[in-house]
Amino acid sequence: MFPPKFLLITFLSLFLFTSKTIMASVNNLTVPEGFQIDEYATELGSPRFMALSPDNILFVTVIGDGTVVALPDRNMDGKSEEAITFIKGLKRPHGIAFHDGYIYVGETNQIVRYKYNGFEKEHGEKEIIVSDLPTKGHFTRTVSFGPDGKMYVSIGSSCNVCIEKDKRRATIMRFNPDGTGGEIFATGLRNSVGLTWNSTTKDLWATDNGRDWLGDNLPPDEVNIIKENKDYGWPYCYGDKIPDPEFGNLERCKNTIAPIVELQAHSAPLGLTFYEGKMFPPDYQDDLFVAFHGSWNRTIPTGYKVVRVKMKDGEPQGVEDFASGWMTVTKKSGRPVDVLVGKKGELYISDDLGGIIYRITSQ
């Protein structure tokens, strides 16, 4: 008899072979009544994380092309007229942030910055401010600036589950804006791709992707509130202090931090953001949006959508679908990566499979 792992691999191979990638169509997507989803920019290749510039232009990293692209909407009609290649020659750029006159980009092996002079002007010289970051395994580097003015960088694990030799792996690190003073801020985070800040509490919230090969429904993916010098479990524990079957230690797990939100296993939550705009109905205020990139290690695929985490007095109340339709049983048309609230309160979603950025508005 074949072992279960072999059977699962075989099923996944058949699924990937027989499933179809279809052209993304906004007509196939579903949002709640009173909302509308449209294409803001198309044919972008593999757009990943987004940021608004000081002059309110939407920027996005394009990981496959090694570029950062500016997407202006000059006539304010809700669509970008052109994709302007603003920076090129980058190595797997993913994270992006604007801070104190600079544009920062997380390449897979380093953090760089350029003086920002406006989207239609030449940027400054490339400055490598954090070099020699570990590159294999989970390779994306997210960059975010906190209320303290420090730069936070997520560095995922090198493996599915293992004891890391490089202490920087499976962490979030903290630096000065010029890249000096690097230190490990929090540990036990297998792959915290998404980082965002709660403007009320000033806390850092992060997604985390759980390990594979524990079945369809284990371990849960997570949203965590990240505190300094805290351990979030991986590889020893997952979820609410549950020992990992390979590396678990019950005593060690007692001192780890449980997630604030548990999500469906293998959903691959990436970008997340709190809604602080004024366009959506009042009951959406301060809710959390999370982009699910979608599963590969699951019998029946899951994810491929954006969910809303309803909040009350700073506490999660439940998770519900907000934008969906990128995946059916046999077809996939997109993989949401990041979510960003625009200057008018609209919500942008990047899709690195369809090569599209979507814009959701409320009537």
CATH of residue 313: 2.120.10.30
Give the ranges where the chain is alpha helix by DSSP (H). Answer: 4-18, 250-253
- In the chain, pLDDT over 70 holds for what percent of residues? 93
Q: pLDDT by residue (tens digit) across 129-188?
A: 999 999 999 999 999 999 999 999 999 999 999 999 999 999 999 999 999 999 999 999
Cα–Cα distance, 250 to 44 (Å, whole number)? 47
Predicted confidence at residue 248, as pLDDT, reads 87
Task: State the pLDDT confidence band at 24, using cuts at 50, 70 and 90.
Answer: low
- In the beta sheet, which residues pair with residue 71? 58
Of 58, 132, 42, 57, nearest to 91 (Cα)? 132
Evaluate the CA torsion angle 189, 152, 131, 292 in order and state its sign.
positive
Predicted confidence at residue 16, as pLDDT, reads 39
Report the domain count for the chain. 1
- In the beta sheet, which residues pair with residue 37? 360
Question: Which residues are within 8 A (CB) of 6 and not within 5 positions of it... i.e. 6 or more apart?
Answer: none
Cα–Cα distance, 273 to 115 (Å, whole number)? 26
3-state secondary structure of 282: helix
User: In this structure, what DSSP letter does residue 305 have?
Assistant: E
3-state secondary structure of 13: helix
**Is residue 17 over pLDDT 50?**
no
DSSP letters for 192-227 = ---EEE-TTT--EEEEEPPPSSS-TT-SPEEEEEE-
- The answer to whether the beta carbons of residues 255 and 209 sit under 8 Å apart is no
- In the chain, pLDDT over 90 holds for what percent of residues? 89
Predicted confidence at residue 6, as pLDDT, reads 34
Residue where the block lists tokens 């008899």: 1
Cα–Cα distance, 19 to 328 (Å, whole number)? 9
**Is residue 14 over pLDDT 90?**
no
Of 271, 308, 264, 240, nearest to 96 (Cα)? 271
In degrees rounded to 5, what are phi and psi of residue 16? Answer: -65, -30
Cα–Cα distance, 272 to 361 (Å, whole number)? 18
User: In this structure, what DSSP letter does residue 19 have?
Assistant: S
Question: Which residues are within 8 A (CB) of 1 and not within 5 positions of it... i.e. 6 or more apart?
Answer: none
Is the backbone peptide bond immediately before 235 cis, with ω within 30 degrees of 0? yes
Q: pLDDT by residue (tens digit) across 302-341?
A: 999 999 999 999 999 999 999 999 998 778 999 999 999 9
- The answer to whether the beta carbons of residues 239 and 260 sit under 8 Å apart is no
Predicted confidence at residue 9, as pLDDT, reads 38
- In the beta sheet, which residues pair with residue 69? 60, 85
- 207: which 2 tokens? 């997604």
Residue where the block lists tokens 């959406």: 284
Q: pLDDT by residue (tens digit) across 128-137?
A: 999 999 999 9
**Is residue 278 over pLDDT 90?**
yes
Counts of helices then strands in the chain (DSSP H, E):
2, 29
Three-point CA angle 326, 46, 329, nearest 5°? 20
Three-point CA angle 56, 60, 63, nearest 5°? 170
As a whole number, the mean pLDDT across the chain is 93
Q: Which domain holds residue 350?
A: 4-362
- Cβ neighbours, 10 Å, residue 85: 11
pTM: 0.93
**Is residue 127 over pLDDT 50?**
yes
Cα–Cα distance, 240 to 213 (Å, whole number)? 19
Predicted confidence at residue 19, as pLDDT, reads 40
Q: pLDDT by residue (tens digit) across 239-267?
A: 999 999 999 888 889 999 999 999 999 99
Predicted confidence at residue 234, as pLDDT, reads 97
- 192: which 2 tokens? 């915290």
3-state secondary structure of 269: strand
Cα–Cα distance, 67 to 166 (Å, whole number)? 28
Task: State the pLDDT confidence band at 23, using cuts at 50, 70 and 90.
Answer: low
**Is residue 1 over pLDDT 50?**
no
Of 166, 163, 185, 167, nearest to 175 (Cα)? 185
